[in-house]
Chain A
Amino acid sequence: MSIGLYKSEFSNPVVRWIDQRLPVFTMMQKEYGTFPTPRNFNYFWNFGALAMITLMIMIATGIFLSMHYVANTHLAFDSIERIMRDVNAGWLIRYVHMNGASMFFIVVYIHIFRGMYYGSYKAPRELLWMLGVTIFLLMMATAFMGYVLPWGQMSFWGATVITNLFSAFPVVGNFIVELLWGGFSVDNATLNRFFSLHYLLPFVILGVVFLHVAALHITGSNNPLGIEPKGPQDTLPFHPYYTAKDSVGLVVYFIVFAGLVFFAPNYLGHADNYIPANPLVTPPHIVPEWYFLPYYAILRAVPDKLGGVLLMFGSILIWFVLPWLDRSPVRSMRFRPLARPFFLLWAVNFLVLLWVGAKPAEGTYVLIAQICTAYYFAYFLVVLPLLARLERPLPLPESISRPVLGGGPLPMGAAAKPMEKA
């Protein structure tokens, strides 16, 4: 072995030659082969992998769509129709991309719910969590700008309303809005820069995902019990155990995804977006895409323009400090008899916000939105900090392997035995 080469353990000469110079095979083996993973994952732990797959699908379909799309106010709408009618399999690629956005948000929402329920944001995974929130914000920006590209009525008026949010900021507001528009209204310059950024941001997301996964592989995964693995008896190698489990989830996921694409491709969209953009007529009932509705409800719940905008941005930014708002040392809600119902109520509350966001902003709907907005923030700012001091958690299990394998205390040898098959 010459000096300067990596000590590879692969025996295949070609693999070994590469691995000695660039140990990618060793890295893959370490991070995705033998990587010790808690043995008690439930199916909630599929959603990180599903999100990764969805990002790949979005990038692949997006690149192919961009080969036919024209980012010009006069041509954009027609170029989308051409994709739907004339480009071979264009309808399929576009419907996968369109519904892929919805599926991406469904998957990521469940992924975030999982993280909140099982306390995956707590030490030592704070930065991992914050990178996740960053990915979510980038996703929102990307999805918003992607929705503008077809240049339908909802594209145009969604872009108008969302960019106008920034006009709420005193002094700099109008400057920011003109900066976003590149003019005095949403127009060709806006469409062009949105297309450019819509193409760029997914690759930024990919970079942050890499950091997210890198941080995960330092701390290791959390698990449904929220206690750290104490040794090899508590973990399984990632491959084949979790590659197999992720594959099962992936097949089910693809069935749902395909069901949406082939049987209800426009179910989650809005019919008005099949009308070409008209700067002179606002649609009577303007709503954002479903995944933005909770924040839209928060925006409308506040009677003050700036206040609404601040609360809306704050509703996600507050996730960044969640690890410091929830000081309880117990991660999993399974062992938190008080926090558990409060959190589940928060999750339902989130869905109510989603529902009310699609309703007209009048009468009872406003009141419901206001109550839900209040609870949304109270959970983070009042409930969690108080429960950290008041709540008496249930006793935590001694180890991961004991509740899984059952019975009395297991000697190391016995616990290791089922792993021999691997």
Chain B
Amino acid sequence: MADTAHAAPSGAPRRDFLKLVTGAFAAVGVGAMAWPFIASLMPAKDTLALASTDVDLAPITEGQAVTVMWRGKPVFVRNRTAKEIQEARAVPVNSMPDPATDQSRVQKDQWLVLVGICTHLGCVPTGQRLTDTRGDYGGWFCPCHGSHYDTSGRIRKGPAPRNLDVPQYAFTSDTKIRIG
């Protein structure tokens, strides 16, 4: 009899099943439609194409520093003096808030490459120019909340939690680096 197929015992689970399948199908559909919208907010291809920056180190004399733009952020490239390198390596690492040896932060001793963004709240520390305030440790000083970085870009005093980040970079020749 046709009626028995619609009777409650077999009919109700079938309806539940149909509701579940419909709901799941709709949920997957909405998810699939949401993805392109979310993806469109991610960095576009032209943004990614500008994600590496080449820097010529030849004009930077000892003691000088330059700031270059990489992914919309300042990158500090500093040609350190022998004194600065010596200072950075003389201090005991364990006493620092974010212990790291100077050797682990450079590829060639004299060249220090850092993302110039204070790890506290994102300001740009001063210290690139010789006339800038460089803080108590001769590196960089963040004017926003008073973080002091040393000549290896390590946090030594103040609220910043981490050392200045070292971006991924490689020497493409003796006097050229590519950041990113």
Residue of A nearest to B26 (CB): A247
CB–CB B36/A87 < 8 A: no
Q: Judge if A175 is at the interface, Cβ distance under 8 Å.
A: no
- How long is the Cα–Cα vector from A97 to B12 in the complex, in angstroms? 41
- How long is the Cα–Cα vector from A60 to B40 in the complex, in angstroms? 12
**Range for the number of chain B residues in contact with chain A:** 10 to 19
Q: Which of B40, B46, B47 contacts A89 (CB 8 A)?
A: B40
- List residues of chain A with CB within 8 A of the CB of B44: 68, 82, 86-88, 90
Q: Mark A88-101, 1 if CB is under 8 A from B, else 0.
A: 11101100000000
- How long is the Cα–Cα vector from A90 to B47 in the complex, in angstroms? 14
- How long is the Cα–Cα vector from A88 to B43 in the complex, in angstroms? 8
Name the interface residues of A74-93: CB closer than 8 Å to any CB of B. Answer: 82, 85-90, 92-93
CB–CB B42/A88 < 8 A: yes
CB–CB B37/A87 < 8 A: no
Q: Which of A64, A86, A92 contacts B46 (CB 8 A)?
A: A86
Q: Which of A67, A85, A92 contacts B45 (CB 8 A)?
A: A85
CB–CB A89/B36 < 8 A: yes
Q: Which of B39, B41, B47 contacts A67 (CB 8 A)?
A: B41
Contact count A vs B, C-beta below 8 Å: 35
Residue of A nearest to B35 (CB): A89
- How long is the Cα–Cα vector from A284 to B36 in the complex, in angstroms? 38
Q: Mark B15-43, 1 if CB is under 8 A from A, else 0.
A: 00000000000000000000111011110
CB–CB B40/A93 < 8 A: yes
Name the interface residues of B32-72: CB closer than 8 Å to any CB of A. Answer: 35-37, 39-42, 44-47
CB–CB B40/A68 < 8 A: yes
- How long is the Cα–Cα vector from A60 to B33 in the complex, in angstroms? 11
Shortest CB distance A352–B (Å) = 37
- List residues of chain A with CB within 8 A of the CB of B35: 89
- How long is the Cα–Cα vector from A88 to B40 in the complex, in angstroms? 5
- List residues of chain B with CB within 8 A of the CB of A85: 45
Shortest CB distance A422–B (Å) = 12
A60, A88, A90 interface centre (most CB from chain B within 10 Å): A88
- List residues of chain B with CB within 8 A of the CB of A90: 40, 44
- List residues of chain A with CB within 8 A of the CB of B45: 85-88
- List residues of chain B with CB within 8 A of the CB of A88: 36, 39-40, 42, 44-45
- List residues of chain B with CB within 8 A of the CB of A93: 36-37, 40
- How long is the Cα–Cα vector from A85 to B40 in the complex, in angstroms? 12
Shortest CB distance B14–A (Å) = 13
Shortest CB distance B169–A (Å) = 25
CB–CB A60/B46 < 8 A: no
- How long is the Cα–Cα vector from A199 to B45 in the complex, in angstroms? 26
Q: Mark A45-72, 1 if CB is under 8 A from B, else 0.
A: 0000000000000001000100110000
- How long is the Cα–Cα vector from A92 to B40 in the complex, in angstroms? 10
- List residues of chain A with CB within 8 A of the CB of B42: 88
Shortest CB distance B15–A (Å) = 10
Residue of A nearest to B37 (CB): A64
- How long is the Cα–Cα vector from A90 to B35 in the complex, in angstroms? 12
Shortest CB distance A318–B (Å) = 39
- How long is the Cα–Cα vector from A60 to B41 in the complex, in angstroms? 13
- How long is the Cα–Cα vector from A148 to B38 in the complex, in angstroms? 26
- How long is the Cα–Cα vector from A93 to B47 in the complex, in angstroms? 19
- List residues of chain A with CB within 8 A of the CB of B46: 82, 86
Residue of A nearest to B22 (CB): A247
B40, B42, B45 interface centre (most CB from chain A within 10 Å): B40
- List residues of chain A with CB within 8 A of the CB of B41: 64, 67
- How long is the Cα–Cα vector from A86 to B48 in the complex, in angstroms? 9
Residue of A nearest to B6 (CB): A421
- How long is the Cα–Cα vector from A93 to B42 in the complex, in angstroms? 14
- List residues of chain B with CB within 8 A of the CB of A89: 35-37, 39-40
- List residues of chain A with CB within 8 A of the CB of B36: 88-89, 92-93
Residue of B nearest to A88 (CB): B39
- How long is the Cα–Cα vector from A416 to B37 in the complex, in angstroms? 47
- How long is the Cα–Cα vector from A147 to B46 in the complex, in angstroms? 25
- List residues of chain A with CB within 8 A of the CB of B39: 88-89
Shortest CB distance B41–A (Å) = 7
Residue of A nearest to B43 (CB): A88
Shortest CB distance B122–A (Å) = 22
Residue of A nearest to B11 (CB): A421
- How long is the Cα–Cα vector from A224 to B46 in the complex, in angstroms? 54
Q: Which of A60, A68, A86 contacts B37 (CB 8 A)?
A: A60
User: A residues within 8 Å of B by Cβ?
Assistant: 60, 64, 67-68, 82, 85-90, 92-93
Task: Offer 27 A-B interface pairs, CB within 8 angstroms, sorted by A.
Answer: A60-B37, A64-B37, A64-B40, A64-B41, A67-B40, A67-B41, A68-B40, A68-B44, A82-B44, A82-B46, A86-B44, A86-B46, A87-B40, A87-B44, A87-B45, A88-B39, A88-B42, A88-B44, A88-B45, A89-B35, A89-B36, A89-B37, A89-B39, A90-B40, A90-B44, A92-B36, A93-B40
Seed contacts A86-B46, A93-B40; 6 additional CB < 8 Å A-B pairs: A87-B40, A88-B44, A89-B35, A89-B37, A90-B40, A93-B36
